[in-house]
Amino acid sequence: MTIAKTVDLVAAARKAGYAVPAVNIVDDLSLRAVIAAAEQAQSPVIVQTSVKTVKSMGAEIISSIFQSTAAGASVPVALHLDHCPDRSVITLAIRNGWSSVLFDASDRPLQQAWDETAEVVAEAHAEGVGVESEIENIVGVEDGVGADEAIHSYSNEQLVEVATTTGTDLLAPALGTAHGMYKASPVLQYDRVAELGRLTDIPVVLHGGTGLSLADFQRFIDNGVAKINISTTLKLAYMHAARDHIAKAQASGKWEPVKMFDDISAAVQATVIEHIGEFGSKGAAAGVTA
Ligand SMILES: [Zn+2]
């Protein structure tokens, strides 16, 4: 009952004026922590996996842990595949119960990206799976996918034409953000979200959220962003909690893995709850019909 469709969660968010947190998990511990945090804050949530995580855990295992955890959750939860240029992994996710996939064609020239996005949408929609589309590259490398420079950039009209002719459900344009940690202050393109919103009803996704301020997030949401991806912050919370726990274990001589899992889970949950507050999705679960 609580396993939701990404497209429905994002549509509800756009209507109500908040953004759904879409959080990249790295294992079962972080998957459960993300859902637990969403339950505490009564927020809808999208659990995301990078291609790297799919390869590390296996699609069947992720799917079964997701299904069993989400089925018992008190909030609507969807499963999304983040940046995936590899068509075979897209197919794997579609066949294993993902609610949506980000087909990342930003490494392809325009016509090829256009044609392949149409193919992916047809394949995904046949199984009731939604498609987020990226044909411009959002700068920064995330889990081995992407590039540090902008290779392809298009006009808003071109982006909308590709999205509407292919049947894309969610749009991931370049908005001045970058994946990973910022080396310099980004030039954020809030206006671009509003302009896209005037051209199409397709919801816009914000990538590269780590390092943005509350005011930045609010301005993006006010302009129409309805899904915000979080990856780097979760990795930092996870690894710093592990490092701190190991330092404590070293000092006390008590080596108990389960206690470390508890610390990691608490840190991940705190991070997700903080973002839920920033994205305005706290308490929004009740307004979503899953
Ligand atoms: Zn991204």
pTM of the full structure: 0.95
Q: Point out the catalytic residue in the list 8, 27, 82, 244.
A: 82
Q: Which of 215, 1, 163, 4 is nearest to 98 (CA)?
A: 4
Distance 178 CA to ligand 1 centre (A): 8
- pLDDT for 256 equals 97
Verify whether residue 222 is a known catalytic residue: no
Contacts of 58 (CB under 8 A, 6+ apart): none
Distance 255 CA to ligand 1 centre (A): 36
Each residue of 81-133: pLDDT tens digit? 999 999 999 999 999 999 999 999 999 999 999 999 999 999 999 999 999 99
Q: Does residue 1 surpass a pLDDT of 60? A: no
Cβ(202)–Cβ(172) below 8 Å: no
Distance 227 CA to ligand 1 centre (A): 11
- What value does the CA radius of gyration of the chain take, rounded to a whole number of Å? 18
Q: Which long-range contacts (CB under 8 A, 24 or more apart) does 58-66 make?
A: 59/92, 59/93, 59/95, 59/96, 60/96, 62/31, 62/96, 63/96, 63/97, 63/98, 65/28, 65/31, 65/32, 66/31, 66/97
Distance 140 CA to ligand 1 centre (A): 9
Query: DSSP letter string over 74-120?
Result: SS-EEEEEEEE--HHHHHHHHHTT-SEEEEE-TTS-HHHHHHHHHHH
Each residue of 14-73: pLDDT tens digit? 999 999 999 999 999 999 999 999 999 999 999 999 999 999 999 999 999 999 999 999
Q: pLDDT band at residue 137, thresholds of 50, 70 and 90?
A: confident
Residue 286 tokens read as 């009740």
Average pLDDT score over the chain: 95
Distance 82 CA to ligand 1 centre (A): 7
Distance 289 CA to ligand 1 centre (A): 27
Q: pLDDT band at residue 180, thresholds of 50, 70 and 90?
A: confident
Question: Which helix (H) or strand (E) covers residue 111, if one does?
Answer: helix 110-125
